[in-house]
A and B are shown apart, each in its own frame.
Chain A
């Protein structure tokens, strides 16, 4: 079945550091890929998405490129802020029927001033 694997956290960075959170997937066909973010005490918010190979999703300084050849969708940000501290989830949707999103385990990011 479909699956998503994320790098395990927690990840601790200093403010203005470069961020990469790795995400790889296994799916049949051509899934859509998503990054969701969960701030403390809140639900999940869609951060960015990409629906086909080589698409780049971007939002709030975060970027991720859909790489079919490496089945990856790594999240990057050039300069993190304390306010980026949250849990980040990679997810996929395989477009078959009404199947739900498949999520990775989540990566907790802590940014210190």
Chain B
């Protein structure tokens, strides 16, 4: 069974631009969560989607948004990029819910904002 895939693996953007990251969960998994990983803050939860609905959201500004499609694939979008948005963005999928089912992570998208 294929694992979680994320595209692209690397992105370089400039301040003020916007970016869209994509995540394809493991087949059959319906919950997709997004995390931001930085050296200073560690792993921080962004949001979680299930059946095309956002079920949970972390403490990030409204510039960070996401969505999920009917095939469970998910995208996250960051608008008006800031230097501090440079990070590794990780997507994780689980069968139904991250609180009871094991989460499986993708390789991440490394975003650099110049």
Contact = CB atoms under 8 A, between A and B. Distances in A.
B36 to A, nearest CB: 11
Interface range for B? 20 to 34
A96 interface: yes
Interface range for A: 20 to 34
Given A98-B50, A98-B56, A100-B56, A93 B45 contact: no
Contact of B102 (A49, A103, A105): A49
B99 A43 contact: no
Interface stretch (B13-21, B61-69, B75-83, B105-113): B105-113
Given A43-B106, A100-B33, A100-B58, A95 B42 contact: no
A110 B82 CA distance: 33
A42 B107 contact: yes
Nearest to A104: B42
Given A43-B107, A103-B43, A105-B42, A98 B55 contact: yes
B48 A43 contact: no
A100 B102 contact: no
A32 B10 CA distance: 33
A81 to B, nearest CB: 23
Contact of B42 (A36, A43, A103): A103
A97 to B, nearest CB: 6
A4 to B, nearest CB: 10
B100 A95 contact: yes
Contact of A44 (B6, B97, B105): B105
A100 B42 contact: no
Given A100-B33, A101-B92, A103-B42, 15 more contacts: A42-B107, A42-B108, A43-B6, A43-B105, A44-B90, A44-B105, A45-B105, A46-B102, A46-B103, A96-B99, A100-B48, A100-B56, A100-B98, A103-B43, A105-B42
